[in-house]
Structure formats: structure tokens, C-alpha cells
């Protein structure tokens, strides 16, 4: 193990945009990739089936013992709810109905949000677009952990706790880094979600409501799928800020593991990202990548040289256009 990491090891000034540069090169060499920039109608039906599946689960757990409620929340519901957040990620990129029907995507995102239990979809869209436009920008990209997170969660045990609490940090970090004024769509998202939660409690009872919320908290915390949070942009190798994952969990996560490909072409649905890699193999095959998110979580917790500080950070340059 090396010495403990500090912010100075990673807080560099980068004004380049590697994803934009690579996108230009790839499109110049492989213009056929433009044909993949279209909506994915199958996403609509997959999301509807996932919502219906969780509704069925709410019914089946309502009379179970508490130990089985929590067991199924982690063993089954967590996979569905985490996958649903990544479905919302796809919807945020207008992959369901296309850019010409942007509001249809916003309403559908609120529908997909329902089994998660916490209003999320509209706010995620606003902050996630900043993440793509200004990757790693200090004070803008809320995917970057705060200085407190990097300072405090620096030991093996504390990093383990940080992984468990990831959903809370993702929820509250924007309020400290880049607070935005409330929009009417966020109000509608919240009202719709609270109404849905009340209806679940009224018709199915407290156990179904706890199952729903526990599935989200457990699924976004210490869970194999949650390895993508760390795998995507934490620099296990200095100089490489984005990493792809090519393992089997892509089947549950709308191919979010193809993360270099996604940042290069954010307007291509996850369904088509493996084709991007296949067409432009000379650009992706030699990039460092992962085959196990579980190993990423283990290495992050156990390696003293890696911490929440291990992110590439850019200073703000030029005029920023924020939503």
C-alpha cells in the first residue's frame, strides 16, 4: 500500500475536454456512428415492466415477517430500484422519446421514479447535464465529492461507511456544492412521489413502504451495482478520469458500464453503446477498463492511496451555461 492520498495529489487544472476531442476524431473516421443517435423505444416498455414488477412486489411483501421484507428489499428490490435510477439516467438523455419530445421524457421520468420512493428524476436531469458539459468542474459537477468527504473518509473503515452512505451523499451534496432554484417540474415530481408513497401505505401498509425505501437505500449503497459510482470516474490510474466496465451487470443497468463510450456520445442510448465500442474498437480496446464492480468496491475500500479525493478536478473556465 502507498501513502494516504491527499487533495493535492489530484487537484490539477485541466482545461482540455478529452471526450469531446475523441468524439470528433471518431466521427471523422466512423461517421456511421451517427446512425446510432436515435431514441430507444424498447426503453419505454422495459421501464413500464419494471414499475409493474415492483408494484407486484409491494403486494407480495405486505404480509411477510420484517426479516423477509428487508431480505427481499436487498436481494430483489434493490436491483430493480438501482436499475430504475439508471433507466431514469437514460430518460434524462431523452433516450425514450427523443429530443423532439423532451417533455414526454420528463413526464415518463416521473413515472419511472415512482417505485424508488424519493423524488429524484427532475433534479437528476438538471445536475446530470452539468456533469456532462463540465465534467469535473469545481463547484458545478456535483458528482465530485466535497472536501469534507475526502478529508474524513480516508481510512479503510471510514471508506466502507462512505460506500454504505453513498445515496445520502448524492442526495445532499448538490445543496452544498451547486444549489439550484426549485422548478415547477421538481414540485410536480415531489407531489406525485409523495402521493404515490401515501397510496402504497394506504393500500399495502407500512411493510410495503419500508420495502420500497429500503430497496433504494440498500441498492444505492453497499451493493454490487453501486460499484459503477466509483468505477466511472475515480482515478485508480493517474491521468485516466473515465473508465468503462464490460461485465455482466451491464444487462441490469442499461449499459451504463460503457462509460467512456457514454461520455463520448451522450446522445446515443445505452442499448447502442456496445456497437460504438465495436465500430471504434481502436479507440476503446486499449483504454483501462473493469470487468468487476465488486472488485472496484473492494479495491476502493482497501487501497490507502484511493479516497473520495481521487477525482480529476477542473477550474471553471469561460462562460458557464447552467440549467
- Report pLDDT digits (tens) over 266-294: 999 999 999 999 999 999 999 999 999 99
pLDDT bracket for residue 18 (50, 70, 90)? confident
**Residue 124 CB-half CA count within 13 A:** 26
Q: 137 - beta bridge partners?
A: 314
> Cell numbers at residue 87, please?
433507466
Grid coordinates 479495491 are at which residue?
Answer: 299
Give the mean pLDDT of 43-70. 98
415492466: which residue's cell? 49
Distance CA 45, CA 48 (A): 5
Over residues 185-208, the pLDDT tens digits come to: 999 999 999 999 999 999 999 999
Task: Give the per-residue pLDDT at 100.
Answer: 94
Domains of the chain by residue range: 11-314
Note the pLDDT of residue 138. Answer: 86
* Model confidence at 49: pLDDT above 70: yes
Q: What is the pLDDT of residues 210-252, one digit of tens each?
A: 999 999 999 999 999 999 999 999 998 877 899 999 999 999 9
Close Cβ partners of 245 (under 8 Å, ≥ 6 residues apart) = 227, 228, 231, 257, 258, 259, 289, 290, 291, 293, 296
- Going by pLDDT thresholds of 50, 70 and 90, the confidence category of residue 7 is very low
User: What grid cell was written down for 5?
Assistant: 492520498
Amino acid at each position: 500500500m502507498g501513502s494516504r492520498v491527499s487533495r493535492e495529489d489530484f487537484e490539477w487544472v485541466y482545461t482540455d475536454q478529452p471526450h469531446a476531442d475523441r468524439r470528433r476524431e471518431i466521427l471523422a473516421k466512423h461517421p456511421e456512428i451517427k446512425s446510432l443517435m436515435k431514441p430507444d423505444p424498447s426503453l419505454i416498455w422495459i421501464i413500464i415492466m419494471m414499475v409493474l414488477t415492483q408494484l407486484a412486489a409491494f403486494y407480495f411483501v405486505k404480509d411477510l415477517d420484517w426479516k423477509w421484507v428487508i431480505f427481499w428489499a436487498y436481494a430483489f428490490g434493490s436491483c430493480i430500484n438501482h436499475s430504475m435510477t439508471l433507466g431514469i439516467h437514460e430518460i434524462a438523455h431523452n433516450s425514450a422519446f427523443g429530443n423532439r419530445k423532451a417533455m414526454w421524457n420528463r413526464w415518463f421520468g416521473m413515472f419511472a421514479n415512482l417505485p424508488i420512493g424519493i423524488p429524484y428524476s427532475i433534479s437528476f436531469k438538471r445536475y446530470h447535464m452539468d456533469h456532462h458539459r463540465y465534467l469535473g468542474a469545481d463547484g458545478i459537477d456535483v458528482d465530485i465529492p466535497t472536501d469534507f468527504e475526502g478529508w474524513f473518509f480516508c481510512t479503510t473503515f471510514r471508506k466502507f461507511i462512505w460506500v454504505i452512505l453513498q445515496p445520502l451523499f448524492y442526495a445532499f451534496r448538490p445543496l452544498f456544492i451547486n444549489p439550484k432554484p426549485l422548478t415547477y417540474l421538481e414540485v410536480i415530481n415531489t407531489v406525485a412521489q409523495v402521493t404515490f408513497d401515501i397510496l402504497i401505505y394506504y393500500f399495502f401498509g407500512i411493510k410495503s413502504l419500508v420495502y420500497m425505501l429500503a430497496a433504494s437505500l440498500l441498492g444505492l449503497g453497499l451493493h454490487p451495482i453501486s460499484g459503477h459510482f466509483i468505477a466511472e470516474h475515480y482515478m485508480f490510474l493517474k491521468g485516466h478520469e473515465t473508465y468503462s466496465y464490460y461485465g455482466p451487470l451491464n444487462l441490469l443497468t442499461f449499459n451504463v458500464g460503457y462509460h467512456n463510450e457514454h461520455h463520448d456520445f451522450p446522445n446515443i442510448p445505452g442499448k447502442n453503446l456496445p456497437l460504438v465500442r465495436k465500430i471504434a474498437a481502436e479507440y476503446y480496446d486499449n483504454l483501462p477498463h473493469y470487468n468487476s464492480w465488486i472488485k472496484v468496491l473492494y479495491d476502493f475500500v482497501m487501497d490507502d492511496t484511493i479516497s473520495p479525493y481521487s477525482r480529476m478536478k477542473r477550474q471553471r473556465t469561460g462562460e458557464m451555461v447552467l440549467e
